[in-house]
Amino acid sequence: MSKRDESIVKMRDLFRETADIIDEMLELETKEAAGQDVSKEAESVAGRFMFKMMEISSLGD
């Protein structure tokens, strides 16, 4: 597999992980709407999301 192919596979995997994180965000919004305090969990999920986006961004370099 070429280096380009490896980068594409890595990008695919990162986007899948990012989609999973977005699902977690949606679940937290539902919990918050039900009155639960999800601020710590939301902060953690947002941090993971930003980290994955930075990883995706760095693949273009």
- In Å, the largest CA–CA distance within the chain is 50
In this predicted structure, what is the pLDDT of residue 21? Answer: 98
Task: Return the DSSP state at 1.
Answer: -
- Full-prediction pTM beyond 0.75? yes
Q: Is the pLDDT of residue 14 over 90?
A: yes
pLDDT band at 4 (very low <50, low <70, confident <90, very high): confident
pLDDT at 19: 98
DSSP letter, residue 56:
H
Domain ranges of the chain: 3-58
* 12/27 Cα distance (integer angstroms): 23
What pLDDT is stored for residue 52 in this prediction?
96
Helix 39-58 and helix 3-33, axial crossing angle in degrees, nearest 10 = 160
Whole-angstrom distance, CA of residue 47 vs CA of residue 44:
5
